[in-house]
Amino acid sequence: MKSWNNPNQNDLIEQAAEMLYELIHACYILTNLASPRCWKSTSRETLATVPVCTVRTSQCFSSAFRTSQATSRLLVNYPEPYRSQILDYLFKPNFGASLHILKVEIGGDGQTTDGTEPSHMHYALDENFFRGYEWWLMKEAKKRNPNIILMGLPWSFPGWLGKGFNWPYVNLQLTAYYIMTWIVGAKHYHDLDIDYIGIWNERSFDINYIKVLRRMLNYQGLDRVKIIASDSLWEPISASMLLDSELLKVIDVIGAHYPGTHTVKDAKLTKKKLWSSEDFSTLNSDVGAGCLGRILNQNYVNGYMTATIAWNLVASYYEQLPYGRCGLMTAQEPWSGHYVVESPIWVSAHTTQFTQPGWYYLKTVGHLEKGGSYVALTDGLGNLTIIVETMSHKQSACIRPFLPYFNVSRQFATFILKGSFSEIPELQVWYTKLGKPSERYLFKQLDSLWLLDSSSTFTLELQEDEIFTLTTLTVGSKGSYPLPPKSEPFPQIYEDDFDVDYPFFSEAPNFADQTGVFEYFTNIEDPGEHRFTLRQVLNQRPITWAADAYNTISIIGDYKWSNLTVRCDVYIETPEKGGVFIAGRVNKGGILIRSARGVFFWIFANGTYRVTGDLAGWVIYALGRVDVTAKKWYTLTLIIKGRLSSGMLNGKTVWKNIPVSFPKNGWAAIGTHSFEFAQFDNFHVEATR
């Protein structure tokens, strides 16, 4: 028997033995017991099958992260080589997080947490499979890992599907057709095979719609695309499946959000795959890493979930938007190239680098005597990976749900490998310690553990907030690149003339749409200065997921900006009722955009102007008449300095020195009065904090 001490002294570790094809009997032995005690989870005994896995499929295990809700908006703007480096840390096998699944939002034109993502069908007869960045991201993931699993899920839907209602199930066939075209377009235009498709994120499901979607996919030859439902709670979808045999047949996976590592009886009775289809969403500090380490293990130990899909992939959005820095890593400065490989990357690697979708969880998994948990997986070909975590309550509280108190303390555990695993000669050892900087290790490879002279038995000493991976695989590595550039604030002087003839992405760099969709546009009616512009392209409110504003708005810049001058050429396309604005000190975005405050300078096609202290237009500082009409270009200038603000139209002062005491800082922005077509050009901002 070998004993491994804490790495602060020498080296470490080991754990886990399991049962495969009923040949292997595993137990861990605690040193404070008078005699060895074999630990078994009795609840698992009644559910385990051979091969030991809680679902009847070869796809027993997977771990994933997802991009959605505009959280990767700034990533596409990164210069090379930094953008490729970030992608390598996320997707490259045996380098960083080495993700198994990428789940993306099917853009629906609505606000979905940190911004809007454009639909491939803004209007009924419109199809464009090059909008947004999700296509690009899926291709980059596939380029690095051809075996990565791709999933799609809608949050919002374009308004035309609702036929006047804020509801996607008005015409079931039409909505199913819309989703089907996204899947077909992914393959036809980008050679991407979508593996799983969802229903409607965290909103009501329609049983008949799910059946219609399945039939339409099958009719189009997309039988291989599996359906996951309902991306909300375990109920009522689980009970509905048990009561409806056809529904039970067409749903392949039950996905629940933030399940707190537990499931419900009805979900288990369906005998379907159970996934935590959204989890984590916690600040990517060491506490966030501890949250991730705990749920990656305990989602299976407690809840039989064989996949954990964490939101979000990379914190690549303005940090002051909701859930800032709740990604696996941070990449929110494309203007400087700076990014941070946060600790959740390496916590993920403990699982993802040493397992693959299709591996089996072994029967003997569970909780350790003095806190923590362990799991073990095999590929069925002789490889074994054991993952042990001892995350404390303080170090692993996720943002949701509430985590009941538990205690973790120092302990020794002994593991015995039997059956075919008793012939394993050596286990590689990887180690993470979270918490105090002086004791902190992230994904450190230790000396391997030799078992031939120890009767396949080993003992490990476990402290609080540790993760150990013991594996027969030798492919693991802690990838690295030279340090990226230093962090820099958003440039104080920034301009964009939008003169891009064939844009690679549909959206202008650094603009983050919060309601509406702003896209590069070629203005064939103006072959001169305004041939290439940025256009707000929605003329109908989408089927919303969040509290979208009634105006459209796209933000840009540094949230800390206080004194600034914003200038932009604007073009109102809607006669009489149309209107546009430029703004500064905008203090809210994302799901809070409707209540955004700031200084907003509006002009309208009816020949009026307005200055408001909020996006909704309730706080009015000034109003009056100006020489403005639709179908004509104007230059708006907004000047905010200290407690005073002024505005100009075509270089002439319209209003001057109006007091503005709140807010004291915020982003710059452009937008429209309603969901209407309008164009913007020659954007320019000069700012100081």
DSSP 8-state symbol, 202 = T
d(CA 110, CA 289): 30
SS3 327: coil
d(CA 680, CA 678): 7
Beta strand segments in 159-251, E: 196-197, 226-232
Closest CA to 321 of 599, 508, 553, 488: 553
Q: Check if 278 is active-site.
A: yes
> CA of 156: how far to CAs of 117, 203, 545, in Å?
9, 10, 5
Residue 498 CB contacts under 8 Å (≥ 6 apart), including other chains = 508, 520, 532, 533, 534, 680, 681, 683
Closest CA to 459 of 422, 416, 425, 424: 416
d(CA 348, CA 328): 9
> CA of 165: how far to CAs of 160, 168, 169, 541, in Å?
9, 8, 9, 10
Residue with tokens 């754990």: 15
Residue 79 CB contacts under 8 Å (≥ 6 apart), including other chains = 334, 337
Closest CA to 276 of 294, 262, 290: 262
- Quick count: other Cβ atoms within 10 Å of Cβ 394? 13
Q: What angle do CA 344, 347, 349 make, to 5 degrees?
A: 110
Out of 202, 369, 573, 686, the active site residue is: 202
Residue 245 CB contacts under 8 Å (≥ 6 apart), including other chains = none
Closest CA to 210 of 162, 247, 167: 247
Q: Could you tell me if 388 and 12 are in contact, meaning their C-beta atoms sit under 8 angstroms apart? A: no
Q: How many CA atoms lie within 13 A of 300 on its CB side?
A: 33
Q: Are strands 273-280 and 307-311 parallel, antiparallel or unpaired?
A: parallel
Q: Could you tell me if 417 and 426 are in contact, meaning their C-beta atoms sit under 8 angstroms apart? A: no
**DSSP codes, 100-140:** SEEEEEE--SSB-SSSB---S-SSTT---TTSSSHHHHHHH
Closest CA to 506 of 90, 116, 177, 85: 116
Q: Could you tell me if 567 and 685 are in contact, meaning their C-beta atoms sit under 8 angstroms apart? A: yes
Long-range CB pairs of 519-522 (<8 Å, 24+ gap) are 519/118, 519/131, 521/679
- What are the counts of helices (DSSP H) followed by strands (DSSP E) for the chain? 10, 36
Residue 218 CB contacts under 8 Å (≥ 6 apart), including other chains = none
DSSP 8-state symbol, 157 = B
**DSSP codes, 166-181:** S-TTSSHHHHHHHHHH
- CA-based torsion, 332, 669, 591, 517: positive or negative: negative
Q: Check if 461 is active-site.
A: no
Closest CA to 12 of 474, 430, 343: 430
Out of 278, 333, 461, 519, the active site residue is: 278
Give me 11's structure tokens.
């080296």
Residues known to be catalytic = 202, 278
